[in-house]
């Protein structure tokens, strides 16, 4: 297996990909980018109407999936295998904001919901996909956030779940290499998604640019095509996507390194 840092380009022609949260935003952009690269796409989302529209636009298939449910994730992978016989790539992208804080505005139901979507969705999706990916090798890209690399006082639970995805990526990346499965994450700044709607005016007033969803999708495809493992790529306006350097923090060791 080539060194993780190498950026060899491989074709996605004929690959089978599953994208959660594929009905809009980054997921939708990834579905289109994958289709343009020759992959066969299965769109997974709780929004059946929008999801089916995306699937039709990319010549793909749709499956209803609540990512906070392990059973839904297992069923989504089973659907992919039934339709195409294999699974090569999975973009675990579904995510939400919490809409509550830790003080008087704390809402345990909202808290449980964001953990269920933003973290359980990554864990359950990975668990469901691993048996298929291990058969002949494959790649997983999780959508974290720049909020997983820095502080976000405005939504501490969003930040907490995205930090958890970053930690999971750094741990699973080296752990899954021996199985031929690469696990990485993208950490975009404010990107063109439904979640941006609640802060769009504030961003405009602060002159903070919004990243095109397609820019994030390009980074996802770069990770699918490359051979990196355990990397968290930050994506900011006007800068090329690149792996975040955890300076001064020892990296995880693989089993071979002892």
Catalytic residue numbers read 158
Pairwise CA distance, residues 201 & 197, whole Å: 8
d(CA 209, CA 202): 11
Q: In which element (H, E) is residue 181 found?
A: strand 181-188
Residue with tokens 């973009």: 91
Q: 171, 78, 59, 192: which is closest to 122 by C-alpha?
A: 171
Nearby residues of 148 by Cβ (< 8 Å), 6 or more positions away = 159, 162, 163, 164, 165, 166, 185, 187, 232
Dist CA 165 CA 59 (whole Å): 31
């Amino acid at each position: 297996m080539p060194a993780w840092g190498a950026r060899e380009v491989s074709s996605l022609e004929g690959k089978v990909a599953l994208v959660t949260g594929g009905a809009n935003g980054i997921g939708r952009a990834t579905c289109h980018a994958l289709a343009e690269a020759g992959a066969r796409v299965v769109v997974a989302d709780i929004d059946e109407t929008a999801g089916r529209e995306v699937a039709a636009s990319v010549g793909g298939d749709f499956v209803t999936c609540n990512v906070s449910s392990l059973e839904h994730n297992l069923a989504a992978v089973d659907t992919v295998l039934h339709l195409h016989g294999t699974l090569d790539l999975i973009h675990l992208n579904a995510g939400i904001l919490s809409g509550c804080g830790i003080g008087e505005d704390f809402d345990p139901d909202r808290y449980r919901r964001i953990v269920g979507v933003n973290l359980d969705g990554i864990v359950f999706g990975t668990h469901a996909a691993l048996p298929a990916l291990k058969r002949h090798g494959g790649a997983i890209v999780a959508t974290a956030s720049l909020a997983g690399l820095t502080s976000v006082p405005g939504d501490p639970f969003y930040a907490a779940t995205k930090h958890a995805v970053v930690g999971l990526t750094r741990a699973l990346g080296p752990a899954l290499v021996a199985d031929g499965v690469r696990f990485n994450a993208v950490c975009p700044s404010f990107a063109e998604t439904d979640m941006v709607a609640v802060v769009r005016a504030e961003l405009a007033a602060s002159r903070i640019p919004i990243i095109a969803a397609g820019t994030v999708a390009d980074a996802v495809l770069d990770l699918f095509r490359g051979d990196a493992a355990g990397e968290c790529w930050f994506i900011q306006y006007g800068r090329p996507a690149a792996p975040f350097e955890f300076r001064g923090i020892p990296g995880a060791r693989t089993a071979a390194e002892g």
